[in-house]
Structure 1
Amino acid sequence: MSIQVVVDSCVAYKWFYKEDEAGLEEAEDLLQSHLDGTRIVSAPTVLPVEIANTLLSSGLPLEQTDEILDLLESARLHLYYTGTRQLQRASALARKHRLAVYDALFLALAEELSCPLVTADCKAFAGIDTPVEIRLI
């Protein structure tokens, strides 16, 4: 049986745009376990949009950005549709925890799936009091 987790864009970014930073090995292990079938890595459908935005904002050439987005698609993450109900829940969590709504979407999905949220966004998620397990890498 595979273990499910929700990852945020900060973790997924580490898979493709590798720099010498904290959490890189843990992020790579998550992706590899997903590819091996021992873990189900999930995210809201906003994840590829956030990755594309971050890559373009970093000044990466468009060709490299396209290659990374192709690699992200080939990883076949379990992407969950973000509808009105999910946005409403994320908005409530954003207000309660002083998060941006797009960050709260990841927390809302982890809550909905009853699984941990793995994040590298320590600034946003450190110290949040929630029944969802938050793993900071």
Structure 2
Amino acid sequence: MRVVIDSSAAAKWYLTEDESEEMKLLRGEILAGRVEAHVPSLFFVELANLLRYARGLSSDDVINGVRAAMSIGLVVHNFDEVLDKAVEIAFRNNLTIYDSVYAALAEILDATLLTYDEKLLENIKKSARAKDLLKQI
């Protein structure tokens, strides 16, 4: 299975939220090589920012969380790989370029976009939450 993970999903690896356990199970599937996970290069910046504003995390927690995400074997893609498609999706679906980068990468790779962003879940046909993806493994 091939997925594109956005920062709203990855943050659940470090925060106690709905479906945090499902995201941790999915991380195990990534580490075991049963799920091929892709991210755009901006993923790590967005994850750091999301964790920075999470309640109760220190600067060391943010750094360690991002470094942990960098070490699990995510396939990282540069912006130039998705630029044209991201802009097209942004205009077509009235999304930010930030969000459209994830959607574009998923479309280009024929992957499912793993997200908890309601606007992406509503607008991107091939998107899902972790609990839905785990049923397919």
TM bin, normalised by shorter chain, reads: 0.7 to 0.9
CA RMSD of aligned residues (A): 1.7
- Which digits, 9 at most, give the CA deviation of each residue in 1:18-67, with x for residues without a partner? 21x22222211221100011111111111101011112233632122111
- From 4, 11, 35, the equivalent of 1:6 is 4
Confirm whether residue 55 of structure 1 aligns to residue 51 of structure 2.
yes
Give the number of aligned pairs: 129
Q: How does 1:1-137 map to 2 (within 5 A)?
A: 3-16=1-14, 18-19=15-16, 21-58=17-54, 60-83=57-80, 86-122=82-118, 124-128=119-123, 130=125, 133-137=126-130
The runs of 5 or more residues in structure 2 that have no matched partner are: 131-137
Alignment TM-score, normalising by the size of structure 2: 0.85
- Residue identity over aligned pairs, in percent, reads 28
The runs of 5 or more residues in structure 1 that have no matched partner are: none
- Does the 8 Å contact 1:44/1:109 carry over to 2? yes
Paired residue secondary structure (2:39): strand
Q: Distance in 1 between matches of 2:52 and 2:60?
A: 10
Question: What is the deviation of 1:73?
Answer: 1.4
- Does the 8 Å contact 2:7/2:50 carry over to 1? no
Alignment TM-score, normalising by the size of structure 1: 0.85
